[in-house]
Amino acid sequence: VGISKTYEISNEGWGSGIIVSKNGYILTNAHVSGGIDNICFVIISKTEKYKAKVIWENNEIDLAIIKVEHQFENCISLGNSSELKIGDSVFSIGNPISYDFKNSVSSGIISGLNRKIEIEDQNVKTYMTNLIQTDISINSGNSGGALINELGKIVGITTLKITSAEGMS
């Protein structure tokens, strides 16, 4: 699904999310949804939008769970990221750049496992660990989207790309 910080579809504050429960729970990145108790919007189509509330977030791992008051017909099946091997095929589903490119699918391989990166923001260093590295093309708006295996099961979430290199996400 698309996640927007405003009711109107715009490129500002635009990202992706994953329906993980038919009862309206959606997984995304914390930087997409905003902080705890924040209100954002789940965009299914130009006419189907739902107000969502951030019910859990963790900035250190950049994850959030948002909740909409809607019953979905389908949700994603969970896979097991610990079963991934370097060279496995994976796919990313998300909303790169803008609403115009919603539900885009990219493919790639697992390039590395258990990666650790350092992030410095306002002279404060934090570390993200246990990351899955792929060569999938990732663009702004893909954040919060599903990384799925060949069986269509979620094994990760698109969080960041290395901007100083090509093909490292």
111 is catalytic: no
Q: If you search the block for the tokens 């729970």, which residue do you land on?
A: 25
Q: Please identify which of the residues 21, 31, 111, 137 carries the catalytic annotation.
A: 31
Q: Token pair of 154, please?
A: 């979620």
**Can you list the positions of beta strands (E) in 34-143?**
39-43, 49-58, 63-68, 77-78, 89-94, 104-121, 124-134
Q: Please identify which of the residues 4, 16, 62, 106 carries the catalytic annotation.
A: 62
| Exposed/middle/buried for residue 148 (C-beta within 10 Å: 0-12, 13-18, 19+) | buried
The secondary structure of residue 76, as a DSSP letter, is: P
143 is catalytic: yes
Q: Please identify which of the residues 16, 33, 106, 143 carries the catalytic annotation.
A: 143
Phi/psi for 18 (5° steps) reads -130, 125
Q: Using alpha carbons, select from 88, 77, 101 the residue that is nearest to residue 133.
A: 88
70 is catalytic: no
Phi/psi for 25 (5° steps) reads -90, 130
Question: Which positions are catalytic?
Answer: 31, 62, 143
